[in-house]
Amino acid sequence: MKQQGVHPEDAESTSGASPRPDTARPGDKDPEGTATSEEQQAGEGSDAGRAAGEEPAQNVEEAHADEVEGDEPLLPARVHRPSDLVRVLAGLLGIVLLLAIAAFAHGTTSGLEQDINKGTGQAPDVFSKLAGLVSSIAILLVPVAFAIERLIKRDGLRIADGVLAAVLAHGVTLATDLWVARAAPDSIRDALTQPSPGDVGSLTDPVHGYLAPVIAYMTAVGMSRRPRWRAVLWAVLVLYAFSMLVTGYTTPFSILLTLLIGWAVAYGTLYAVGSPNVRPTGRTLMAGLRHVGFRPVSAAREEVADTQETATDRGRRYFVTLEDGPPLDVTVVDREQQAQGFFYRAWRNLTLRGFATRSSLQSLRQALEQEALLAYAAIAAGANAPKLIATSELGPDAVMLVYEHTGGRTLDSLAEEEITDDLLRDTWLQVKALQSRRIAHRRLVGDAILVDRSGKVIITDLRIGEIAANSLLLRMDISQLLVTLGLRIGAERAVASAVGVLGPDAVADCLPMLQPIALSRSTRATLRRLARERAQRERDAVLEASRLSKQTRSEEADAGADKPDKKTVRAQARAEKRALDEALDDAREEDLLTLIRHEVLRIRPQAPVEPARLERVRPRTLISFIAGAIGAYFLLTQLTHIEFGPLVANAEWGWVAAAVLFSAASYFAAAMALLGFVPERVPFRRTVAAQVAGSFVKIVAPAAVGGVALNTRFLQRAGVRPGLAVASVGASQLFGLGCHILMLLSFGYLTGTEKTPSLSPSRTVIAGLLTVAVLVLVVTSVPFLRKFVVTRVRSLFAGVVPRMLDVLQRPQKLVTGIGGMLLLTACFVMCLDASIRAFGSEGTSLSIASVAVVFLAGNALGSAAPTPGGVGAVEATLTVGLIAVGLPSEVAAPAVLLFRLLTLWLPVLPGWLAFNHLTRKGAL
C-alpha cells in the first residue's frame, strides 16, 4: 500500500479552483476550508469526529493524511432506517389495541376513568392550578428552546423534519377527531371524550390537537438521543396530563392515544423522508485513531463483495499505515450498517429456536464488547485469530476495533489446487481449538478463513460468535464448514479432512445439523443456485432425449412408405418413454448435502441422520394460522348476526342428506378422474380409498400440493414407474385446469345471460377475458417472464404429452378421465346447492349456473392459497360470492359452513383411517 501524497485534484482544489464532482475525494476541503459534501452529509458525524479528538484547525499535511483511499463514494444525505419503520408499526399496533380495548372493554375503561378521576380529584386545588399554568407554558417553551439549541449546532435539517412531523400529526389529530365525532362506535367515543367542564352540552377533544404535534416534533428532531431534554419533556408531559385529568378536560385513553399518534407520526415521517446520515467518514476514522494514541499516515478501504450478509456481519474494514510501527486492520461498525438485515434477523428469531439464531436488537456498545470478548477468547483458546489492540467509539453512532494486520487471502479467493491437505488440516485444527473452549464461530464461510503468505490459517469474523456455546451450536459450526469446503473441493475431501482432525464420531454427530436452515445466508443462496442449475441440466437432458426420439420416429416414418399400424405406434411410444426415463435417470444428480451425508454414513453407518428440529414455527404454519384466523373472524362476524335456533329448526334435512350424498360421491368421481389418465391397471376401490385419505392430507398441506404428492405416491406403490406416475398426475392436473377454466367461462356466460333477453355476455366475463389477455401480453412481452414460462412449459410437456398420447389411444380411459372431472365438479356444485336449499326458502334459491360460478371461483382461490385445504380463502370467497349473486347473508354463511363441514372437516377422520390403512398395506 503506497502512502498518499498531494493528488492533482487536491492541488487543483487548494489553488482556488473548485473540485469537479466526479473527482472529489472523502476528506477533501474546498477553498474556504469547509468540508466537502460527504462530510456535510454526515451531519452529527462531524461532531463525533471532534469528540474523538479531531482538532478544528489542521495544516495542509494533516489534511492530506486524513484522506482514505478506496473509501465509499459520497454518502447519501438521508437513510431510511428499519428501526424507524419498526417503531411506526409498533405505534400503529398500540393505537389499534387501545381502540380495541375502548370498543370491547367498556366496563374496564369506565372503571379506570372513575378510579383516576377519584385519585386526581383529591389533589389540592392550588397545586392543580399551578400545575396547569406551568405545564401550559412549558409545553410551548420546551420545543422552542430545543429548536434554538439545534440551530446553534447547525442542525437545521432536523428542525425541518420536526416541523413536518408536527404538521402531519396535527392533520391526523383533526381526522381522528372527525372520525370519533361522526363515525366511531359509542364505546370508543365514551372512552376518549367526556362532557366539557367549560361548555355545557359539548364534549372534550378525543385527541389533543396541540399536544400530539409537540410530541411528534420533539421525537423527529432527535430528543431520544439527549437524556436531559428527554427528561424535561417527559416531566412537562406528565405535569400537563395530570392537570388536564384533574380539571376534567380529557380522559386517560385520550392522553394515551395522543402520545401514540404523535410518536407514530414522527417515526413515520422520519422513515418516509429519511434521517440525516451520521455514518462516520474516513476523516473521522483517522481522528479516532489519533485519539487512542496512533499516528496514521494513510488508510485504504478493503474491497469486499457487496452482499447483505457481509455488510451486516463483517463491518467496514480499512488497512491503515502508521508513521512508526506495523500497519493495522480497522473494523468500523455504525448504526446504519447494523440496522441492515434487521427484518431478516427478526424473521429468523421468530421462526427459529433461540439456540439457532442471534439477537436482532443489539446496541453498538454490546456489539463492541461481544467482538472484543470473542477476539480475546479465541486467542486464549490457542486459535489463530486477529489480535485486538484497541477499541474506541466514533461518536454516538459508530465504534471501531483496531487489530494487528494479518494479511493474506480468503479461502474463496484461492484456486482449487492451492487448497492442499495441509491447509485443510490447519483449518480444522483452528476450529478444534475454538470448540475446545466452547466457542462457536456461527459463520464459517469462505471469507472468514484467511490464509497468510506463510500458509497459516487465520479465523476471522468472530463478531457474531458465542462463548460458552451449547453442543448444537458447535455441531452447526462443523456442518457449516463441511459445506463451505465441500463447495470448493467436493464432499469426499471435505469429510476426510474433518475426520482426520476431529474424528469420525464428532463428524457423525453433526449430521442432524446438516440442513439448509442451519447454514449461513450466503451458503443457502449458493445451494439454491446449484439446485437450479441441476434442475436445468435435467430438463435439458429430457428435452434432448425427446427431440432425438421424435427425430428418429420421423426418419422411420419417412423411410417407410406405408402408415404404421397401431402396434408399431404403441411400441414407438413405449420406446420414447423408456428413453425419457433413462435420460432423466442419467442426468439426475445428488445435492451437496446428500453427498456429505453419504460420505459420513460410509464411515459411520450408525450415525444419526434425522434432522434436528431447529424451527420454532414454520412459515407455512404461520401463514396457515393467519389465514385461518382471518377466515374464522370473517365467518364469526357473519354468524353473530344469525339465530341458529330457528335456522336449524326450519332447516330442510332432506337437502342436508342430499348434500352428504353428493359429498360422498365426489370421492368416486375423483378416483375416475385420476384413473382415466393411467393406462396401467390400478384397483378402483383402493384408488377411492386413496382419495378419501387425501381428505386428511389436505389439512396438513396446501390443497394444490398435498393431493398431487399423495396421488403420485399411490400410483408408484401400485406399480406405475415413478416417471410415469408423475406424468399421469401432471396430465390429470393439466387437463383438469383446462376443464376448470372452460367451465368457469361457460357458467359465467350463462349467469350473465340469465336475466337478459339477448345472449350478450356479462361484463364480468368480458373483464375476466380482458384481464387474462393483458396477463398473456405482459408475459410474452417481458423476456425474463417469457423465458421462465417457456422453460417450464416445455419441461412439463416433455413428460405429459407422451402420457396423453397413451391415453388417447384408449378412448375408454379418456372418457373415464373427462367424465370423472365433470362428475367431480358436478358433485361439489350440487353439494353447495343442496346446502343453500337446506337453509333457504323458496325465494332464496339460486340457479345452478350461479352456484357453479361461485364454487369454481372459490375452488380456484383455494387451490392457489398456501393454506391447508384453502382454509380462510375458500370460506371468504364462497360467502362473498353467494352474497354477490343475490343470496341473503343469513343464508349464505350457514350454507358455506355446512358445505365446508361436509367436504373438508368431517372427512378428516375417515381420511386419517384410510391413510393409516393404506400405509399398513404398503399402498402409500
d(CA 758, CA 753): 7
The stretch 418-432 carries a mean pLDDT of 94
C-alpha dist (Å) from residue 549 to 426, 535, 556, 722, 731: 53, 21, 11, 20, 20
Query: Is the Cβ–Cβ distance between 923 and 714 less than 8 Å?
Result: yes
* 467 or 395, which is more confident: 467
Radius of gyration (C-alpha) of the chain in whole angstroms: 36
Which amino acid does the sequence have at 580?
Answer: L
pLDDT beyond 70 at 341: no
Contacts of 121 (CB under 8 A, 6+ apart): 246
Question: pLDDT band at 281, cuts 50/70/90?
Answer: confident
Length of the chain: 924
Residue 487 pLDDT > 50:
yes
Question: Please, are residues 102 and 253 in contact by the beta-carbon 8 Å criterion?
Answer: yes
Beta strands per DSSP E along 305-356: 316-322, 328-334
- In this structure, are residues 351 and 466 in contact, taking their beta carbons and an 8 Å threshold? no
- Distance of alpha carbon 912 from alpha carbon 914, whole angstroms: 5
pLDDT of residue 626: 62
- Look at 571 and 646; give whichever has higher pLDDT: 571
140 versus 413: which is more confidently predicted? 413
pLDDT value, residue 757? 43
- Give the pLDDT of residue 492: 93
The secondary structure of 152-180 as a DSSP string is HTT-HHHHHHHHHHHHHHHHHHHHHHHHH
Joined together, the cell numbers standing for residue 562 give 406405408
Mean pLDDT (whole number) for 166-188: 85
Q: Which grid coordinates are listed for 418?
A: 492451492
Per-residue model confidence as pLDDT tens digits over 215-233: 888 888 876 666 677 777 7
Q: Is a pLDDT exceeding 90 seen at residue 706?
A: no
- Cα–Cα distances (Å) from 553 to 233, 576, 796, in that order, read 86, 9, 21
Which tops the pLDDT comparison, 414 or 847?
414
Report, as an integer, the average pLDDT of 33-39: 35
Pull the grid cell for residue 546. 425427446
What mean pLDDT do residues 382-407 have?
Answer: 88
Res. 774 pLDDT band, cuts 50 70 90: low
- 130 versus 465: the higher-pLDDT residue is 465
Confidence category of residue 115, pLDDT binned at 50, 70, 90: low
Residue from 564, 618, 856 nearest 737 by CA: 856
- If phi > 0 it is left, if psi is from -120 to 50 it is alpha, else beta; for residue 541 that is alpha
Task: Give the start-end residues of each E strand in 447-505.
Answer: 449-451, 457-459
Question: Can you tell me the distance from the alpha carbon of 663 to that of 666, in angstroms, rounded to the nearest whole number?
Answer: 5
Q: What is the chain's mean pLDDT, rounded? A: 75
Residue 557: what pLDDT? 65
Is 0.85 topped by the overall pTM?
Answer: no
Which residue is associated with the grid cell 365514551? Answer: 190
Do residues 123 and 186 lie in contact, with contact meaning Cβ atoms separated by under 8 Å?
no
Residue 162 vs residue 70, higher pLDDT: 162
pLDDT band at 154; cut points 50, 70, 90: low
Q: Given the C-alpha cell 414460462, which residue does it identify?
A: 789
Determine contact, residues 673/822, Cβ cutoff 8 Å.
no
161 vs 800 pLDDT, higher one: 161
Among residues 537, 631, 627, which one has the least CA distance to residue 584? 537
Residue predicted with more confidence, 630 or 546: 546
Task: Give the residue among 652, 528, 505, 639 at the shortest CA–CA distance from 592.
Answer: 528
Angle, helix 521-559 to helix 783-808, in steps of 10 degrees:
50
CA distance linking residue 547 with residue 551, whole number of Å? 6
- Say how many C-beta atoms besides its own lie within 10 A of residue 556's C-beta: 12
DSSP type of residue 3: P
- N- to C-terminal Cα distance for the chain? 67
What span, in angstroms and rounded, lies between the C-alpha atoms of 498 and 511?
Answer: 13
Separation between Cα atoms, residue 556 and residue 134, nearest integer Å: 102
Q: Which amino acid is at 301?
A: R
Banded pLDDT at 450 (limits 50, 70, 90): very high
Query: What's residue 21's pLDDT?
Result: 32
Is the pLDDT reported for residue 480 higher than 80?
Answer: yes
pLDDT at 421 (0 to 100): 93
Sheet holding 457-459, edge to edge: 409-410, 449-451, 457-459
Phi, psi of 208 (to 5 degrees): -75, 115
Q: C-alpha cell of 345?
A: 434477523
Banded pLDDT at 52 (limits 50, 70, 90)? very low
User: What Å distances lie between residue 133 and 264, 371, 580, 795, 844, CA to CA?
Assistant: 28, 52, 88, 79, 67
For residue 558, what pLDDT is reported?
66
pLDDT at 874 > cutoff 90: no
Mean per-residue pLDDT for 205-209? 81
pLDDT tens-digit map of 355-392: 555 555 567 788 888 889 999 999 999 999 999 999 98
Q: What is the rounded distance in angstroms from the CA atom of residue 88 to the CA atom of residue 263?
A: 8
Kindly list the distances between the CA atom of residue 217 and the CA atoms of 157, 174, 238, 254, in Å, as whole numbers in the listed order. 12, 17, 17, 19
Instruction: Tell me which of 257 and 745 has the higher pLDDT.
Output: 257
> CB atoms < 10 A from the CB of 668, how many?
18
Q: Is the pLDDT of residue 39 over 50?
A: no
pLDDT digits (tens, 9 = 90+) for 559-604: 665 566 667 766 776 777 677 777 767 777 788 999 999 999 999 8
**The pLDDT of residue 420:** 93
* More confidently predicted of 625 and 667: 667
Task: Please compute the mean of the pLDDT values over residues 387-404 and round it to a whole number.
Answer: 87
State whether residue 726 is helix, strand or coil: helix
Contact at 8 Å (CB) between 466 and 435? no
- pLDDT tens sequence across 902-913: 888 788 888 888
Instruction: Give me the pLDDT at residue 599, please.
Output: 92
Rounded to 5 degrees, φ, ψ at 512 are: -60, -20
Of 796, 815, 819, nearest to 807 (Cα)?
Answer: 815
The closest of 331, 307, 137, 346 to 236, measured between CA atoms, is 137
Q: pLDDT tens digit string along 504-515?
A: 999 999 999 898
Q: Which residue has the higher pLDDT, 212 or 45?
A: 212
Distance CA 673, CA 813 (A): 10
Locate 359 and state its grid cell: 439477537
Mean pLDDT of 454-479: 90
Residue 201 has pLDDT above 70, yes or no: no
Q: Which residues contact 503 (CB under 8 A, 6 or more apart)?
A: none
